[in-house]
Structure 1
């Protein structure tokens, strides 16, 4: 099915099925695109390393992982709402590869629901992980920028721009060390940045992309940096 046709189907479903859960088509409440049962059943990333967001099984749950103790990332904390599994993976693929606006809107709402900030801890700027312009033209849109614009409006966080000035090869199939090398010097951020900033990506795998962007942000003046993502790949897939 073409991207245009998928968008037509999304628009039609939104019109003819108001108040219905996106996942099971049961009744939803309060204008939300999900029902309470499906929302609770999503693969939430509650027990994760607070530094890198990697899901932590067993007794390690919620502690800083050994990898971050050995080599801390350039960002200080990670908030990742969900694990990249099941319905979340399907929703993300509809958004990234078929440009579904409804899937994107649901992902933004889930990110907001899973990354609630304590009072007084709002960041001063939000930066999306950018695609290289060549890659964005191939895909038809920059999904990180799309998410960031909507999250910025929902949370009232000013949006700042980062640039990817090297069209780096795909990260797929690379180990952590090669991912870091692949992204070295790939990003530019014009400063000065405020003290507290948040970096946003759609899916976080090893954190190498956010680490490279965080280093560029520190060079531009940021001092406290959080990494946010909609979903994190499970431990065995990172």
Structure 2
């Protein structure tokens, strides 16, 4: 039987106070009725031309292409039909995502989702049948207390009327963190890590899936999950992420 992610714990009161005071922008601390104020969004969340299949930032001159791709994706196409990233993984989003991921800063969720929703609408990304989060291992769940990607996925799925079920994708073994590994080592590190819940595979067969993660670095985790889904009979797979790091 698949393990259900635990309900996200509420941040401790002292943590909330230290992270940000109510009514202030989480970035510049100006008084604001939003977690990230309009001025900071204008400065740090401007749309960027991105690769169609890995969301890496592209030079502005490629924006005229119908489906622009980076050199890496042209040489070795990934198993994604589309990849959409809301922002670059740099100030202030890197710090905000770290707070959301490791410090239970759930008050940042709506601002992060607003950025992703805007990027999806601007990109014209097709609506999938399922929106599924990248699963965590049991060890990582115990360590963090909740799956940050599932917290984002279930809220976005509710907004867009999509199906979202944390029991459909499994992380069948605990693997080392991807950070710090070279590209080849990252691919080997996630090989064989994921699976579709065998008793429920029929629910995904013939459907379109979007995978949601907070940060996309090399893409190897999302690519491996996409391959697993395609092997299980899924028709197409997209990747939706809050932030994309610079291409390696």
Counterpart position of 1:199: 211
CA–CA separation in structure 2 for the residues paired with 1:80 and 1:95: 17
Q: Answer yes or no: is the 8 Å Cα contact 2:49–2:59 preserved in 1.
A: yes
The TM-score normalised by the length of structure 1 is 0.86
CA–CA separation in structure 2 for the residues paired with 1:119 and 1:80: 13
Say whether residues 1:220 and 2:227 are aligned partners: no
CA–CA separation in structure 2 for the residues paired with 1:169 and 1:44: 34
Q: Answer yes or no: is the 8 Å Cα contact 1:203–1:233 preserved in 2.
A: yes
Q: Look up the SS of the partner of 2:92 in the other structure.
A: helix
Cα pair distance change 1:66/1:75, threshold 3 Å: same
CA–CA separation in structure 1 for the residues paired with 2:37 and 2:19: 20
Cα pair distance change 1:34/1:68, threshold 3 Å: same
| Structure 1 residue ranges without an equivalent (≥5) | none
CA–CA separation in structure 1 for the residues paired with 2:125 and 2:58: 28
CA–CA separation in structure 2 for the residues paired with 1:154 and 1:226: 18
Q: Number of residues paired by the alignment?
A: 228
Counterpart position of 1:105: 110
| Structure 2 residue ranges without an equivalent (≥5) | 1-10
Counterpart position of 1:179: 186
After TM superposition, give the deviation of residue 146 of structure 1 in Å. Answer: 1.3
Deviations 1:158-196 (A, max 9, x none): 013311111011111212221111111111113231421
After TM superposition, give the deviation of residue 117 of structure 1 in Å. Answer: 6.8
Give the RMSD, CA atoms, in angstroms: 2.4
Greater CA deviation, 139-148 or 31-40? Answer: 31-40
After TM superposition, give the deviation of residue 148 of structure 1 in Å. Answer: 1.0
Q: Answer yes or no: is the 8 Å Cα contact 2:20–2:26 preserved in 1.
A: no
After TM superposition, give the deviation of residue 25 of structure 1 in Å. Answer: 4.3
Q: Answer yes or no: is the 8 Å Cα contact 1:43–1:85 preserved in 2.
A: no
Q: Answer yes or no: is the 8 Å Cα contact 2:83–2:238 preserved in 1.
A: yes
Residue among 191, 196, 212 paired with 1:189: 196
The TM-score normalised by the length of structure 2 is 0.83
CA–CA separation in structure 2 for the residues paired with 1:51 and 1:152: 22
Residue among 14, 17, 36 paired with 1:9: 17
Q: Look up the SS of the partner of 1:96 in the other structure.
A: helix
